[in-house]
Amino acid sequence: MQTFREKKKPIDKNELYVVTGVSGRTGSAAAHALLKAGKRVRVVVRDDSKGGLWASQGAEVVLADFTDLLALSSALSGGDRAYIISPPQYDSNDLFEQSEVMAHNIAEAVANAQLKKVVALSSIGADKSDGTGWIAMNRTLEKFLGQTGLPVTFLRAAYFMENWSPLVQAATHGELRSFLAPVEQKLPMISTKDIGRMAAAALCEDWYKVRIIELEGPARYSPKDVANSLTQALEKIVVPIALSESAWPEALSNAGFSTVAVNGFVEMTQGLNSGHISFINDAGIDHRTGIVSLDTAIATMVA
Ligand SMILES: NC(=O)c1ccc[n+]([C@@H]2O[C@H](COP(=O)([O-])OP(=O)(O)OC[C@H]3O[C@@H](n4cnc5c(N)ncnc54)[C@H](OP(=O)(O)O)[C@@H]3O)[C@@H](O)[C@H]2O)c1
């Protein structure tokens, strides 16, 4: 029997890698990894003052806001491969509508530029059509980018270890007030440093059509594990306390979230706690693990 294999094209060393969200967590880690690997990098910022750092490292800097289709199309034009994030506007009551506009613009700009490969940050739970709160915005991005017909990888990342960062200061008083419960329940978490590094690696690969990669850290962790990591980093005992759902709105009152964003957070957190939001566990899905442990991530936050 004759077998046919797709001919692998050699990767062009002069390919241009476009990276969005470089003033944020995963985008900066991805751009650093690509520059370190000697790739030609163009970063997209929306504020001139955030470009200097990248220009000094040899990256080309362009300005674009995801809400501006013309600017975004020009930012991606001439690029070969791109790392895309779609940042939610948590302070707005229209955050879901805004994320749809951004997803539409991103997909249109990617299609206009006819990029060879796109890696887009999505989330654990983006396979579910309801009961996921904020993650519905990641699902929208997957929908629009999937419709371009281009080779797109969706990185379905676990709960960020850095989500604990706003609680570190309060933990110095000896308590970790957790929305995740029960506090012994372990779930997938990952450092944004791992996501950026693994996004850069995925972007350098060859694949066809749409692929999904699930990303988590080197182990599963519970809020109790987070409290233990804090105990170690702060050299002071930190006890995990599960916040009752009725206390969530009050606990979020200084987070700068709109009412609709708070509702989305509540639904997402309920989904995480009940196990509704989880990895697919399908043998056909690429599942990768990072190297940054919770202890390391928490120690970095404390430092
Ligand atoms: N937290 C979690 O547990 C979790 C889990 C899975 C997936 N995610 C996804 O992670 C993504 C966030 O990624 P991240 O943490 O790397 O980002 P981040 O650190 O929150 O930074 C956001 C980046 O987006 C830029 N940005 C914001 N609004 C923009 C706009 N209108 N146009 C162009 N750029 C804009 C920001 O630039 P400025 O500096 O100019 O503001 C910044 O560089 C979200 O899509 C979220 O759904 C989160």
Regarding the beta carbon of 15 and ligand 1, being less than 6 Å apart is answered no
Regarding the beta carbon of 67 and ligand 1, being less than 6 Å apart is answered yes
**Per-residue pLDDT tens digits of the chain, which is 303 residues long:** 333 344 555 567 799 999 999 999 999 999 999 999 999 999 999 999 999 999 999 999 999 999 999 999 999 999 999 999 999 999 999 999 999 999 999 999 999 999 999 999 999 999 999 999 999 999 999 999 999 999 999 999 999 999 999 998 889 899 999 999 999 999 999 999 999 999 999 999 999 999 999 999 999 999 999 999 999 999 999 999 999 999 999 999 989 999 999 999 999 999 999 999 999 988 778 999 999 999 999 999 999
Residues 199 and 119 sit within 8 Å (Cβ to Cβ): yes
Helix (H, G, I), strand (E, B) or coil at 189: strand
* Rounded CA separation 270/251 (Å): 15
Nearest alpha carbon, ligand 1 atom 5 = 159
State the distance from the centre of ligand 1 to the C-alpha of 20, rounded, in angstroms. 9
Residues 103 and 140 sit within 8 Å (Cβ to Cβ): yes
The residue whose CB lies within 8 Å of the most ligand 1 atoms, and thus the one to mutate among 22, 44, 68, 121, is 121
Residues 86 and 99 sit within 8 Å (Cβ to Cβ): yes
Q: Which of 83, 191, 183 is nearest to 141 (CA)?
A: 83
- Name, in order, each residue with C-beta under 8 angstroms of 111's C-beta and a sequence gap of 6 or more: 148, 150
Q: Report the pLDDT value the prediction gives residue 5, as an integer from 0 to 100.
A: 44
Q: What is the pTM of this model?
A: 0.95
* Rounded CA separation 258/36 (Å): 39
Task: Count H helices and E strands in the chain, helices first.
Answer: 11, 13
Structure tokens given for 202 = 């995925």
Nearest alpha carbon, ligand 1 atom 25 = 21
Tell me how many degrees the CA angle 178-184-188 measures, rounded to the nearest 5.
80
Q: Report the pLDDT value the prediction gives residue 246, as an integer from 0 to 100.
A: 94
Q: How do 220-221 and 187-190 pair as beta strands? A: antiparallel
State the distance from the centre of ligand 1 to the C-alpha of 25, rounded, in angstroms. 7
Beta strands in the chain (DSSP E): 16-19, 40-45, 60-63, 81-84, 117-123, 152-157, 159-160, 175-178, 187-190, 210-216, 220-221, 239-242, 286-289
Nearest atom (ligand 1) to Cα of 89: 28
Beta strands in 181-284 (DSSP E): 187-190, 210-216, 220-221, 239-242
Give me the half-sphere count of Cα atoms (radius 13 Å) on the Cβ side of residue 105: 21
Q: Report the pLDDT value the prediction gives residue 8, as an integer from 0 to 100.
A: 55
Regarding the beta carbon of 160 and ligand 1, being less than 6 Å apart is answered yes
Regarding the beta carbon of 25 and ligand 1, being less than 6 Å apart is answered yes
Regarding the beta carbon of 165 and ligand 1, being less than 6 Å apart is answered no
The residue whose CB lies within 8 Å of the most ligand 1 atoms, and thus the one to mutate among 45, 83, 85, is 85
State the distance from the centre of ligand 1 to the C-alpha of 86, rounded, in angstroms. 6
Nearest alpha carbon, ligand 1 atom 20 = 24
CA 18 to chain centroid? 16
State the distance from the centre of ligand 1 to the C-alpha of 235, rounded, in angstroms. 32
Nearest alpha carbon, ligand 1 atom 11 = 87
Nearest atom (ligand 1) to Cα of 50: 39
Domains of the chain (ranges, CATH numbers): 16-160+190-217+278-290 (3.40.50.720)
Residues 64 and 44 sit within 8 Å (Cβ to Cβ): yes
Nearest alpha carbon, ligand 1 atom 40 = 46
Residues 138 and 155 sit within 8 Å (Cβ to Cβ): no
Nearest atom (ligand 1) to Cα of 85: 45
